[in-house]
Amino acid sequence: MPTPKHRPTTPKRSPPPPPPLSPNAVAPDQSLTRRPQPQVSLQQPSHKKTPSKSTKILRRVKSVFRSFPVISPPCKMPVSIHTNRMHEGHIHGGKQMTGTLFGHRKSRVNLAIQENPRCLPMLVLELSIQTGKLLQDMGLGLVRIALESEKNPSEKIKLIDEPIWTMYCNGRKVGYAVKREPTDDDLKVMQMLHAASMGAGVLPGEGRAGDAAGEGELTYMRAHFERVVGSKDSETYYMMNPDGNSGPELSIFFVRV
């Protein structure tokens, strides 16, 4: 009986390697990979050397007349005393800061003060006025906000570190302002605006917890503020217009009585 012939097996050939990509070509699956987004880290506020005693006295003498109006109760501040200062393009002796008003239009407005747009906020306040209402009032004319805190001789605390303030807007009591630590949402807003020194607009919302329906967009206004320190119990922040001609649209007085 003839023996069956075995066919020789042909070795399997491996598939040819793919042709090399040109320098401008993109691999098919490269678009599916996640590309890391650039992160911008906010810097800590600078801790400058404490000025000498003589420097402190000189600064206090220079600013004593500027801070005088806020020594009286905020609701009785005479308009005539501020008239000349409100039409100055620059507050002499003041330190320039970055101030940002932000919040949903029907929610309470937040105020963040930074040394510059890339720094962590040195102060975050939640004011007792709606964002939309404040921006509307600023569009109609000058807005003056006075924040009054009770002095406690037994506690040595910096003025801007006071936790709660009685708030007056254009001489009328409107509630309270509360100081708080920056939240993750606050820092996200500051980071999104790190490249903007001034301006106004809206930022897309991401459905933060507690947001009401229809409040997805967050409104903001950023500008330069001049900070004038009158004493350990009085400071003033003047929002400066970019043109420098019509004076500040918003003035915020901090006073401890």
Any domain includes 239:
yes
Q: Give domain status of residue 109, yes or no.
A: yes
* Tens-place pLDDT, residues 196-225: 999 999 998 654 444 444 467 899 999 999
**Would you state the pLDDT for residue 67?**
44
Residue 27 inside a domain? The answer is no
The pLDDT assigned to 16 comes to 63
Q: 118: domain range?
A: 53-204+215-256
Q: What is the pTM of this model?
A: 0.66
Q: Please check whether residue 243 lies inside any domain of the structure.
A: yes
Residue 68 domain flag: yes
Q: Per the structure, how many domains does the chain have?
A: 1
Q: Which residues of the chain have pLDDT under 50?
A: 26, 28-35, 37-38, 49-50, 54-55, 58, 61-90, 207-214
3-state SS track over the chain: CCCCCCCCCCCCCCCCCCCCCCCCCCCCCHHHCCCCCCCCCCECCCCCCCCCHHHHHHHHHHHHHHHHHHHCCHHHCCHHHHHHHHCCCCCCCCEEEEEEEEECCCCEEEEEEECCCCECCCEEEEEEEEHHHHHHHHHHCCEEEEEEECCCCCCCCCHHHCCEEEEEECCEEEEEEEECCCCHHHHHHHHHCCCCCCEEEEECCCCCCCCCCCCCCEEEEEEEEEEEEEECCEEEEEECCCCCCCCCCEEEEEEEC
Burial class (CB in 10 A: 0-12, 13-18, 19+), 212: exposed
Give domain status of residue 42, yes or no. no
Q: Is residue 37 part of a domain?
A: no
Does 106 map to a domain?
yes
- pLDDT for 73 equals 40
Q: What is the pLDDT of residue 4?
A: 55
